[in-house]
Amino acid sequence: MQGASNAEFVQLYPHRGAVSHDMWHRIVDDATDAIDILVYSGLFLVDNRPDFTDVLAEKASNGVRVRLLFGDPDSAEVKRRSEEEGIGVDGLSGRIRITLSYIAKVVGTPGIEVRLHDTILYNSIYRSDTTMLVNPHVYGSGAPFNPVMHLQRVPGGRMFDHYQASFDRTWEAGKPLETAK
């Protein structure tokens, strides 16, 4: 079991910016089965890739299940996190609203589901099939400044599935974007 867990761990990046643009692109481009993203805002995804929503729509049209989970910009948890990061009570909410304005283009696209969550977000999770990036959140520090773990699913491993279970629990508690407004 320990050997499998070691095999799951691919790389540790000191901060989100150290993850190559190529790796962020592969999370979407290489998906053949599923894309799962759990964030508060994820604004960097659309800022760094203007065709992000187009690629998601194309993937969905090819049978890839896309599940996107964003923080509810009106939730107490988002406001608190924003204050803890020192960006003002509405800083993070504003970033989420900007992201949602870009994502609105694909809301309702078959194969793409978008939900809002009001959880305390301990990790941002970006999964494509058997590849996962996990961005742990550190109190008082914004997500871009925190480490990122690159994991891969391997038989007998536990870490990948552990983080996937966290995504799935948050997904189940989330509200579809259309009804969350």
- The domain limits of the chain are 2-180
Question: What pLDDT is stored for residue 111 in this prediction?
Answer: 97
Tens digit of pLDDT for each residue in 72-90? 999 999 998 888 877 777 8
User: 2-180, what's its fold?
Assistant: Endonuclease; Chain A (3.30.870)
Tens digit of pLDDT for each residue in 18-50? 999 999 999 999 999 999 999 999 999 999 999
Question: What pLDDT is stored for residue 4 in this prediction?
Answer: 61
Residues of the chain with pLDDT under 50: 179-181
Two structure tokens written together for 21:
């643009």
Question: What pLDDT is stored for residue 180 in this prediction?
Answer: 44
Separation in Å, CA 142 to CA 26, 29, 91: 24, 26, 11
